[in-house]
Structure 1
Amino acid sequence: MKIEFVGQPDGPQRTGDWLLNRLGESNWQNFWATVAFAKQSGTGHLTDALQKFATSRSVLLGVGIDHHGTSLEAVQDLVTAVGADNLFLCHHASLAHTFHPKAFLFADKKRATALVGSGNLTEGGLFTNYEAATAIQFDLTIASDKTAFTALRTAMTTWLNPAHGIARNASAALLAQLTSSGDLPTEVQMKAVLKQANAKPAGTTAATASPFGKPIIAKAPPRPNKKPQNVAGPTSVAAQTASAMLGELRWRKPNLAKSDAQQPKGKSSPTGVLRLSQSRFKVNGELISSARYFRNDVFGHLAWADSTPKKSVATAQFMLLNGKKPMGGPFTLMVSHQPSREAKQKNVTTVLHWGAASPIVRETNVLKRTLELYGPNDAGQFTIVFV
């Protein structure tokens, strides 16, 4: 057994460097990983290497979702890389317990190597934070090495066994449920919470100078392979406002009601949804059937899953525009379809859940305006325009 220290941010090999190097080595046949949190800033560095590894070798990943520390987009990146069957979300339904390991393990028939430390699947955890880890090399032909390796592997696989109780497969239905409940926030939601948490309390004044220094960190993180999906800079926003980038007009709803515009009456709570009704919209000269059009034609290509025996759900990326002005996003929003609604809600069987976009829609006050739905465009995104 050989043990090495792996430190960052300015060590010769950081957690992210170690992982990328191991994923690029052809001898390893198995990879297990368990982390407390994941964000797109971290998964963007690893998804390409993970996907290449997973095409011919075994991968098992576990990511915690306690304390709203993991984003929906990061989970979607990992699902794309390794497949939903190989990814488990972990949560102990008690505030007294947090899923908090940071362990990575590679193995072939005769050798194994592990990194056990403090870094999560975030850019900070992989490269820029002050983190400490131990890298261990096992010779599986030596009994003591094999015993230590087996103990680590058994702990990780036990945590990720659904029978143990804290792990659930990252199915589309589970992601939709956790997004709706707020347990799996979007990157936009996480940034909003962080901004509020970092705001100075009322009545306090900012210090003129911090008592702490800013040592220069010589090693910058590598450029991620994928940019976070919900970081829309000026160029991408300008591109989205061009009509050619919106995709096909799929639906128009004039004179938005208070329920759709998230402007409730009196002290009532916002509905949180947009009812995808017929609204006298025509395709090829024929009025659409709201009971079938949205589920089968507009959103039929999405990965639908049953959240209950009577309701199916899917998620998609949406940009929101106030005229030509971006309102933020893209947002990962949920669409739900429930045929039993037909008799109860005037033939509206499909609804769009505003989710993280709800406060923005409410603050913009789109009451009585017309909503246009476009897409998907070449990037697979939908766009909602308030005109």
Structure 2
Amino acid sequence: MAILQKFTQGISGEWNYRKELVSLLSSKKYNNFTFASAFATESGVDLIEEFLKELGGKIEVFIGVRNGVTTYQAIAKLLTLGAKVYGIDTGSAAKIFHEKTYTASNKEEALILTGSGNLTRGGLVTNIESGTLVKCDLKNENDMEYFQQCLDQLEILKKDYPRNVYEITDVHMAKELLTNGILLDEKKTVPRTVKGTSKPNLATYEVPPMKTFIEKVEGKKAYKSAKKEENYVLAVPNESQNDYNLLNFEEIWRSKELTERDLNIPSNEATNTTGSMLLKKGVYDIDQQTYFYNEAFGDLEWTPGIGKKAHFLYAKAHFDFLIDGVFIKGYDLVVKHDPRTDTKTYFQKQPMTHLLWGNAKPLVAKRHLLDEIMTLYKDKNNSGKFLIKIEAEE
């Protein structure tokens, strides 16, 4: 009789899709494997690559294509690892193949993992995903029937829709699918559609990021590297029309985890906040004393202050905000820089540039944003315009 176990990825560190798939693939007692996933990306395949490689040609993989997610790089890697790959192509933008079922079997028993986890990094380790593990005794009639249904229904798709369910025979064919727009190219930028829009005076709803358990997996790629996003494209709903504005940005700086001091959150009632954020190295290997003046904000018009502030330089720029996925039209803010090279601060190699929060302070002085990451972008098409993104990094 079948043994069923229900899991949720993220509520504990004990279980996730990656660990379960590794367990399936590395078990020496199974010799047949069939995976079916709506989406696949190279970062997902990378997480189980070494175990797929050991199987050689013992695995069939059914992957949804023409869905705006599955990539050429994922399919090419699966083929290189020896998998027999089928693309499930509905031939329509109105519906997609949305299966997520993974099976391993021998003559006596089978394991079926089914739920919501795709063959992507999010599906295997990062997202909150549901999974049911079914262990079938193939000598039991009901168990055998259930397992056979898992396989037969994929075979029915192949038989009934031969032009839509096709074997991707080699990397050359995968390249053709890429050329025809059926697979995505991970090397190209895909616009990020914002989750919603708001206005500064209305953005008051505070929801902290869920601190779920995410396995720290070292892949071949540095997913959290400090490499700049040279082409960050946002699709922002147009308030006056039923369409989107495409905004094109270049990353110019990224913080470490945000602190009370950064966000101007008082630690107690006696604390007086400064009204500004000191711009430090963050995750970049830069000269924090000169970078922001010479490079990040080098195109701005800097003018000296007045009176006692005459030794400071000031520049004004427009900053919009993307906070936890919500785009908020922002404000003109001031950046302050101290160009002096004979001060104690300078000799101690301390940062010399501040971002004055001004009218934007109520947007950022929120405790739920602590420990999130701030990324600063420059608008590539509009001089003097910037984007501040604040969100948790997984």
Structure 1 or 2, whichever has the larger Rg, is 2
Match of 1:136 in 2: 134
Distance 2:202 2:25 in 1: 45
User: C-alpha displacement at 1:210, in angstroms?
Assistant: 4.8
Residues 6 and 15 of structure 1 are in contact (CA less than 8 Å); yes or no, is this contact kept in structure 2?
A: no
After superposition, the CA RMSD in angstroms is: 2.9
Distance 1:221 1:161 in 2: 41
User: C-alpha displacement at 1:116, in angstroms?
Assistant: 0.8
Q: Secondary structure at the match of 1:187?
A: coil
1:98-149, CA deviations, whole angstroms, 9 ceiling, x for partnerless residues?
1110000110010000011011011110111111111000001111111111
Residues 91 and 167 of structure 1 are in contact (CA less than 8 Å); yes or no, is this contact kept in structure 2?
A: yes
Distance 1:70 1:162 in 2: 23
After TM superposition, list the pairs within 5 Å mapping 1:48-59 onto structure 2.
48-54=50-56, 58-59=58-59
Go from structure 1 to structure 2 and tell me whether the alpha carbon gap of 1:175 and 1:219 turns closer, same or farther (over 3 Å shift): closer
After TM superposition, list the pairs within 5 Å mapping 1:245-284 onto structure 2.
none
User: C-alpha displacement at 1:204, in angstroms?
Assistant: 4.8
Distance 1:73 1:206 in 2: 44
Match of 2:194 in 1: 198
Indicate the structure with greater strand content: 2
User: C-alpha displacement at 1:199, in angstroms?
Assistant: 8.5
Residues 32 and 156 of structure 1 are in contact (CA less than 8 Å); yes or no, is this contact kept in structure 2?
A: no
Match of 2:64 in 1: 64
Go from structure 1 to structure 2 and tell me whether the alpha carbon gap of 1:40 and 1:233 turns closer, same or farther (over 3 Å shift): farther
Go from structure 1 to structure 2 and tell me whether the alpha carbon gap of 1:162 and 1:62 turns closer, same or farther (over 3 Å shift): farther
After TM superposition, list the pairs within 5 Å mapping 1:113-192 onto structure 2.
113-160=111-158, 164-170=162-168, 171-189=170-188, 191-192=189-190
Residues 38 and 69 of structure 1 are in contact (CA less than 8 Å); yes or no, is this contact kept in structure 2?
A: yes
User: C-alpha displacement at 1:234, in angstroms?
Assistant: 5.5
Match of 1:3 in 2: 4
1:289-317, CA deviations, whole angstroms, 9 ceiling, x for partnerless residues?
xxxxxxxxxxxxxxxxxxxxxxxxxxxxx
User: C-alpha displacement at 1:213, in angstroms?
Assistant: 2.1
Residues 162 and 168 of structure 1 are in contact (CA less than 8 Å); yes or no, is this contact kept in structure 2?
A: no
Residues 113 and 132 of structure 2 are in contact (CA less than 8 Å); yes or no, is this contact kept in structure 1?
A: yes
After TM superposition, list the pairs within 5 Å mapping 1:291-370 onto structure 2.
none
User: C-alpha displacement at 1:182, in angstroms?
Assistant: 2.0
Go from structure 1 to structure 2 and tell me whether the alpha carbon gap of 1:234 and 1:126 turns closer, same or farther (over 3 Å shift): closer
After TM superposition, list the pairs within 5 Å mapping 1:372-383 onto structure 2.
none
TM-score, scaled to structure 2: 0.52
1:319-358, CA deviations, whole angstroms, 9 ceiling, x for partnerless residues?
xxxxxxxxxxxxxxxxxxxxxxxxxxxxxxxxxxxxxxxx
Distance 1:89 1:178 in 2: 10
Residues 15 and 126 of structure 1 are in contact (CA less than 8 Å); yes or no, is this contact kept in structure 2?
A: yes
Matched, 1:35 2:29: no
Match of 1:289 in 2: none
Number of residue pairs the alignment of both structures matches: 227
Q: Secondary structure at the match of 1:51?
A: helix
Listed as ranges, the gaps of 5+ residues in structure 1 are 236-362, 364-387
Match of 1:88 in 2: 86
Candidates 97, 102, 107, aligned match of 1:99: 97
Distance 2:75 2:87 in 1: 9
Indicate the structure with greater helix content: 1
Candidates 216, 220, 223, aligned match of 2:218: 223
Q: For structure 1, which segment, 67-76 or 100-109, has the greater mean C-alpha deviation from structure 2 after superposition?
A: 67-76
User: C-alpha displacement at 1:158, in angstroms?
Assistant: 3.0
Distance 2:201 2:85 in 1: 43
TM-score, scaled to structure 1: 0.53
Q: Secondary structure at the match of 1:82?
A: coil
Distance 2:69 2:201 in 1: 27
Residues 72 and 174 of structure 2 are in contact (CA less than 8 Å); yes or no, is this contact kept in structure 1?
A: yes
Matched, 1:19 2:18: no
Distance 1:94 1:132 in 2: 27
Q: For structure 1, which segment, 67-76 or 131-140, has the greater mean C-alpha deviation from structure 2 after superposition?
A: 67-76
| Counterpart AA for 1:80 | T
* Identity of matched residues, %: 21
Q: Secondary structure at the match of 1:66?
A: coil
Distance 1:69 1:15 in 2: 19
1:162-216, CA deviations, whole angstroms, 9 ceiling, x for partnerless residues?
8633212223343222212222111133x4322xx23976x95597565322232
Match of 1:247 in 2: none
Residues 66 and 181 of structure 2 are in contact (CA less than 8 Å); yes or no, is this contact kept in structure 1?
A: no
| Counterpart AA for 1:131 | E
User: C-alpha displacement at 1:157, in angstroms?
Assistant: 3.0
Go from structure 1 to structure 2 and tell me whether the alpha carbon gap of 1:209 and 1:233 turns closer, same or farther (over 3 Å shift): same
